[in-house]
Structure 1
Amino acid sequence: MKNNNKTNTITPVRVWPGVVLVVLQWALRYVAPIIEPETIIIGVFGVLVFGLGIVVWWIFFSRAPRFEKWLPIPLTIISLYLTYQILDKSIATANMNLMFTMYSIPVMCLAFVAWAVISRNFSQRLRRITMVITIIAASGFWALIRTDGMDAEVHHDFAWRWSKTAEERLLAKKDHQQTISTDSSAISPLVEWSGFRGKNRDGIVYNLQIETDWKKTSPAKLWQKQIGPGCSSFAIQGNMIYTQEQRGENEMVTCYSLKTGDLIWLHSDSTRFWDAHAGAGPRSTPTLFESNVYTLGATGILNVLDASTGKLIWTRNAANDTKVTIPGWGYTSSPLIVDSTVLIAISGQILAYNITTGKPRWSGNDGGESYSSPQLFTIDGIKQILYTNKEGLTSYNPINGNILWALKWPGVRVVQPAQIDETSILIAADERIGLRRITVKNSENGWIIKEQWTTNKIRPDYNDFVVHKGYIYGFEGPSITCVDIENGNRIWKGGRLGGQLILLADQDILLILTEKGDIALVKASPDKFEELALIPAIKGKTWNHPAIAGNIFLVRNTEEMAAFKIPLTSI
């Protein structure tokens, strides 16, 4: 006799492939770049590949009931789409509008696989309810947060959407615009640090030797102050330091005391620029020349101010003098003064103005987006202005703007070119290409340009480099590297000190302000990578270039600034 009683059993979900896939996905995206920074791009694409793998596992190999196999697909798409409509602007626009996709996929994958593991023994009803809750929660929580920017390794600084920003906390202070009076001793004709990367825009300092054993004689912090956001560095004259920052709807040029960090004067323009990566505020650095300070704001306002009082001498909206479209990072050029001319760049176009009246003198062609600034070189005995943009490198006659010569080499231009000798120049492209050395010579038949070498053994990207005693010192991702100037071969690579640097040439020392806000000393020697000292300085992502006056080292980022007195050698 047959037994017709049937036992209803539910085949358990096979979860181990999903666990393996999500572990590999997160390891490739977040662990591998810690070990080898160059894997970050692979990690970003790996997120998509493993995400697709998890979909394939769930539909074809999970053994889940048919309804549960297919429900997550439309539910996830709808949930992510609806969340995207209410995202904070910082997340919606970051990473070229791709941040939500880049980050939501691994989070959703992790949440879904975790649900699959935890819910294996749930009842069918409870399993389906918790599935819906998991998908909605993994998507919807993105609407509750914002990003306050990212670092060079694409790690974002997340915060609750409703929490106050550093700028809002500064503005909440009643005395945030309170100025102090200054005595005549603070006003000095001596310019200690004229602006972006120093006197020659090369980041090199002479006639200064410091103690390098900071365990015995560590730099003393003179002061530390809150500051408005911006990527500006400092210019220094006497006891007065100049920078640019954002405070609410006002873009400001500010002057502080070198001794105390107190505000001396400020100039305000009613404009605001913001992007999801660097945040709000101006990107340029003030330039000092004689008794005036010259600034360019992120929306294109060119100001000339009295350095001692902040009184406006003349102003001009330089962006209106061009037809270029403002790039995603704003206008970033730091003004350059050559004789009686003020030179700036509005994205990929160089503009020249009369230093006294502000009237236009000449302008170059728009060569595509650029983050860099005009640079003065004397090449083969002839003074000229070099400017890099998306098309390549162009040399201009500073008097009339005539093009002397041009190098067509497409790429993303951020860092400044460097001069090796009378006829040799280094120019960077972007993180994919690296650095190129060229020679430029004047002849009876015109200028002759020859490529010496191109290397990807140093790819400065957003971090400037220096030339010293036959070698180039700069950054390859977060690591500092030394390259032979004769052939572009890498000598060594070490550390994780990505940031901006100053060369103390007489001592063969690199003084580095890291992206994490630390101050480091590294030996500028081809022998080996040698880190001499490292101390914390300021908190938060630090993209701003440092400045130095004597042995006073100035650092800042989008939240705070500080001054350190570095001990000098006793010799």
Structure 2
Amino acid sequence: MYQPIIALAFYFGLFTALPSTALAGDEPASQTWSQWRGPNRDGSVTSLKLPDSLEEDRLKQIWRVALSPSYSGPIVSKDRVFVTETVDQKTEVVRALDRKTGKELWKQSWSGSLSVPFFAKANGDWIRATPTLDGDRLFVAGIRDVLVCLDANSGKELWRIDFVKQTKANPPAFGFASSPLVVGDAVFVQAGGGFCKVDQQTGKIVWRILDDGGGMSGSAFSSPFYTTLNGVPQIIVQTRTTLAGVDPEQGTVYWKKEIPAFRGMNILTPAVIDDFIFTSSYGGGSFLFTTAKNESGWNLNQKWTSKTQAYMSSPNIIDGHLYLHLRNQRFTCLDLETGVVRWTTTPFGKYWSTVTDGQKILALDQKGDLLLIRANPEKFDLIDRRKVADDSWAHIAVSGNEIFIRDLNHLTAYRWNDAASNNGPTP
């Protein structure tokens, strides 16, 4: 299966201020994990420090809940955790759990069965995309190309869109993999064989662009990201074949660039650094583009390309260096200015989800190992390593001084206590 791994703008030197996307109401960003790759949608935590050790006396398990399979990551608000699962390969379930205890607060479900192609069967027929929380509304992407809006307090269904029925697109062969993006009063998704803007209050499709028809050749994996390039607000969208900048109001495509990939496996969500865009594809390579706008329109120029190929994992960019888990299961560091590889490790698992505080990287390996790494362009600097699960494709979540890990059949909450972290007490 092609987990959406995506969505991000990053650090270039010092932390860069990012446009606000979907945050959980007015809750402090350090106490929430409201969407794919966190508060800033970039795999970063800017107001807390990661733990110094993963030892059991420093990072303690506080609860564990057994669940049916899912690849979507947990969403964390101040007082609860939202998690998805597919029960008996036919019913999609969303649960709200008490953040302190793991006790179930409410449950919602609907029919959601889809059989993925044979070469993806090893990764199962269950829900893929990570939900998004915006205030008291939770947006959940079901595998059969449906988007469901739930009341985050009660679990009540507010509206539902069946994109296959409404757009007449082919059903997505690999399921709805792209995570929803909230900007203002709109929800943006790669669904219905294209890129769609949805009114988050009514559930009506406002517009649909970048038509790919869905099915085997369509069904984009990458999640959209909201940013500003050359002073112009836009959403960066990567389809199976194309990188594009889109006007979030009218749906105008400002610019497009073809991205080569084997069988359209553009899975990673592009990274935005100042007016530069980084992306990497399976079978295509890695690319850094510069963007410029003048009276005649937009121009994209390739600053560098590299033979390194990402698969499903999205990178972290820290102090001018890019840290990326690759198709060949190795972890690498590239110089962001030149694309030169600084170092590459021996293989790990098939997928990593990562979070950085700008100095350290916390990585969850698909094999279930949790790794703590110092961001060091001179060498792979592993601080600590701990086995926490057996099969972990869902994205890790970090909130306050707590870590939430969704493996294939469980959700586990951990809490660390570092005197130097200054993260404040967990609510």
TM-score class normalised by the smaller sequence: 0.7 to 0.9
Q: Is 1:360 equivalent to 2:210 in the alignment?
A: no
The one-letter code matched in structure 2 to 1:365 is: L
Alignment correspondent of 1:439: 290
* 8 A contact 1:429–1:435 mirrored in 2: yes
1:398 alignment partner, one of 231, 248, 253: 248
Distance 1:413 1:216, change over 3 A: closer
Deviation of the 1:242 alpha carbon? 1.0
Contact map agreement 1:511 1:522 (CA 8 A) in 2: yes
| 1:355-504 mapped onto 2 (5 Å cutoff) | 355-367=200-212, 368-411=218-261, 412-421=265-274, 423-430=275-282, 432-457=283-308, 459-476=309-326, 477-498=328-349, 499-504=351-356
Conserved in 2, the CA contact under 8 Å of 1:210 and 1:569? no
Structure 1 residues 280-319: aligned runs within 5 Å: 280-319=125-164
Distance 1:361 1:188, change over 3 A: closer
CA contact (8 A) 1:218 1:567 kept: yes
Q: 1:215 to 1:296 in 2, by over 3 A?
A: closer
**8 Å CA contact retained: 1:196, 1:233:** yes
**How many Å apart are 1:495 and its aligned residue?**
4.7
- Partners of 1:533 and 1:335 in 2: how far apart? 33
Structure 1 position 489, deviation (Å): 1.0
- The Cα shift of 1:150 comes to 12
Structure 2 counterpart of 1:417, which letter?
P
How far apart are residue 345 of structure 1 and its match? 0.8
Whole-angstrom distance in 1 between the partners of 2:307 and 2:314: 15
Contact 1:520 1:533 in 2 (8 A): yes
> Is 2:398–2:404's contact at 8 Å kept on the other side of the alignment?
yes
Once residues 443 and 250 of structure 1 are traced to their aligned partners in structure 2, the CA distance between those partners, rounded to angstroms, is 51
State the TM-score, normalized to the length of structure 2. Answer: 0.85
How does 1:173-322 map onto structure 2 within 5 Å? Answer: 190=27, 192-215=32-55, 217-248=57-88, 249-275=90-116, 276-322=121-167
| Counterparts in 2 of 1:336 and 1:347: CA distance versus 1, 3 Å | same
Task: Report the CA distance shift for 1:211/1:267 in structure 2 as closer, same or farther (over 3 A).
Answer: closer
**Cα distance, 1:210 vs. partner?**
3.7
Q: 1: CA distance between counterparts of 2:298 and 2:394? A: 36
Return the offset for 1:336. Answer: 0.8
Amino acid at match of 2:278: L
CA distance 1:226–1:198, shift in 2 (3 Å) = same
| Alpha-carbon distance in 2 for matches of 1:547, 1:456 | 30
Query: Does the CA contact (< 8 Å) of 2:255 and 2:298 recur in 1?
Result: yes
Q: 1:150 & 1:392 partners in 2: Cα distance?
A: 17
Cα pair distance change 1:150/1:466, threshold 3 Å? closer
Q: Deviations over 1:243-283 (max 9, x none)?
A: 22111321112211222222211111122134313213210
Decide whether aligned partners of structure 1 residues 496 and 220 sit closer, same or farther in structure 2, where only a CA change above 3 A counts. farther
Distance 1:194 1:433 in 2: 32
What displacement does 1:366 show?
1.9
Q: Deviations over 1:74-129 (max 9, x none)?
A: xxxxxxxxxxxxxxxxxxxxxxxxxxxxxxxxxxxxxxxxxxxxxxxxxxxxxxxx
Percent of residue pairs identical: 27
4+ residue segments displaced more than 6 Å: none
**Rounded Cα–Cα distance in structure 2 between residues aligned with 1:393 and 1:375:** 12
8 Å CA contact 1:302, 1:316 repeated in 2: yes
Amino acid at match of 2:157: L
| Alignment CA distance shift 1:495-1:208 (3 Å) | farther
Change (3 A) 1:402 1:211: closer
- Give, as a single letter, the amino acid of the residue that structure 1 aligns with 2:70: G
Partner SS, residue 206 of structure 1? coil
Where structure 2 has 5 or more consecutive residues not aligned to the other structure, the ranges are 4-23, 213-217, 422-427
Residue equivalent to 1:48: none
Is the CA contact 2:2–2:312 (under 8 Å) kept in the aligned structure 1?
A: no
The structure with higher relative contact order (CA 8 Å, sep 6+) is: 2
Structure 1 unaligned spans of 5+: 1-148, 152-186
Q: Which amino acid aligns with 2:99?
A: L
Secondary structure of 1:525's aligned partner: coil
The residue type equivalent to 1:525 in the other structure is N
Q: Which of 1 and 2 has greater Rg?
A: 1
Which residue does 2:18 correspond to in 1? none
* Aligned partner of residue 165 in structure 2, secondary structure: helix
Cα separation, partners in 2 of 1:377 and 1:189, compared to 1, 3 Å = closer
Distance 2:321 2:395 in 1: 22
CA shift, 1:188, in A, is 8.1
The offset of 1:351, in angstroms, is 0.8
- Kindly provide the amino acid, as one letter, of the partner of residue 492 in structure 1: W
Q: Classify 1:221/1:474 alpha carbon distance in 2 versus 1 (closer, same or farther; 3 Å).
A: same
SS at match of 1:280: coil
What does residue 377 of structure 2 align with? 526
Output the CA distance in 1 between the equivalents of 2:362 and 2:77: 21
Pick the structure with more helix per residue: 1
Equivalents in 1 of 2:240, 2:51: separation in Å? 42
Q: How much has 1:348 moved relative to structure 2?
A: 5.0
| Change over 3 Å in CA distance of 1:332–1:354 after alignment to 2 | same
Deviation at 1:319, TM superposition (A): 2.5
Q: Residue type matched to 2:268 in 1?
A: V
